[in-house]
Structure 1
Amino acid sequence: MENSKIIFAYLIYLPIVIALTIYVSKMLFKNGKLFMVDIFKGKEDIAIATNKLFEIGFYLINIGWAMLILKISYYSINEMSYQTLIEILSKKIGGFSIYLGIMLFINLFFFFRGRRISRKSLRTNNEV
């Protein structure tokens, strides 16, 4: 019976973290495309291709991390009530959400940094 609770927890955890990852990725890279076009000075084909590669990397890193922290059996199986299970899921999903937020801000930092460097080099070229 206890193993079925863990499997039940996995069936709740996995769709939630995968859906969160997909949602954050779609929002980030849909809006990040504008930064990439700016960074690559209007070369839309290179910007879109690079953005797509970053999106794939984002999926791999974040879904990989979600799988890595999946294990629930660290906790005492003998004391696994439904309340404990919900608390464990809350901790895991909450922790993953915080991690995903940090990854989002790291990506935004790099988008802004790339844009700033691109504009700086454009100004330098215009002054010469």
Structure 2
Amino acid sequence: MDLTVVAYVVYLLISIGLTVWVARTLSRNGRVFIGDVLAGNEKLADAVNQLLVVGFYLVNIGFVTLYLRQTDEVRSARELFEALSVKLGVVLLVLGVMHLGNVWVLNRMRRRGIAERRHTPPVAPQGWTAPAGA
């Protein structure tokens, strides 16, 4: 079998496996932040979480497939490992950037939710009292 094809198969298996693992980790742990932002609305938190996961999959798997093409032919085991290390390194960097982007967005959403809750009085005003001495 051509070593370039082997490089493609190994690259796809590892890249897609890493993408699935990162997406599941983000989904499981990010849901806590989304639930906090949405003030306990569980159904909405689950829906937003699922939409974020789908977007994450689309962007990352799209990148993995676009980055699949190997310009040089792989002729030895050494070239196979070198090609895989470059490709997987770039995929890991993209996954890391996507992860940091997701964390940043979730944190911004959470901070905004906390700020909005601070400005909302805990109890609606019950009436009006004239100031003393007026």
Q: Same fold (TM over 0.5)?
A: yes
Q: CA deviation at 1:80?
A: 2.8
Q: 1:11 aligns with which of 1, 9, 15?
A: 9
Deviation at 1:99, TM superposition (A): 1.1
SS in 2 for 1:126: coil
User: Distance between the aligned counterparts of 1:61 and 1:33, measured in 2?
Assistant: 20
Q: 1:113 aligns to what?
A: 108
Aligned-pair Cα RMSD in Å = 1.5
Q: Could you tell me which amino acid in structure 2 is paired with residue 9 of structure 1?
A: A
Which structure would you say has the larger Rg?
Answer: 2
- Residue of structure 1 equivalent to 2:129: none
Work out the CA distance in 2 between the residues paired with 1:22 and 1:120: 33
C-alpha distance in 2 between matches for 1:29 and 1:121: 24
Counterpart selection for 1:96 from 91, 94, 104: 91
Per residue, is there more helix in 1 or in 2? 1
- What fraction of aligned residue pairs are identical, expressed as a percent? 37
Long gaps (5+) in structure 1: none
- Per-residue deviation, 1:86: 1.1
Q: 1:21 aligns with which of 19, 22, 40?
A: 19
CA positional deviation for 1:98:
1.1
Residue 80, structure 1, aligned to residue 67, structure 2: no
Q: TM-score, normalised by structure 1?
A: 0.90
**Per-residue displacement from partner, 1:4-55 (whole Å, max 9, x unpaired)?**
1111111111010000000011111101101111111110100101100110
Which of 10, 16, 33 aligns to 1:35? It is 33
Note the C-alpha offset of 1:111.
Answer: 0.6
Map of 1:54 onto structure 2: 52
Q: Per-residue displacement from partner, 1:59-79 (whole Å, max 9, x unpaired)?
A: 11001100000001x12x3x7
TM-score, with length taken from structure 2: 0.87
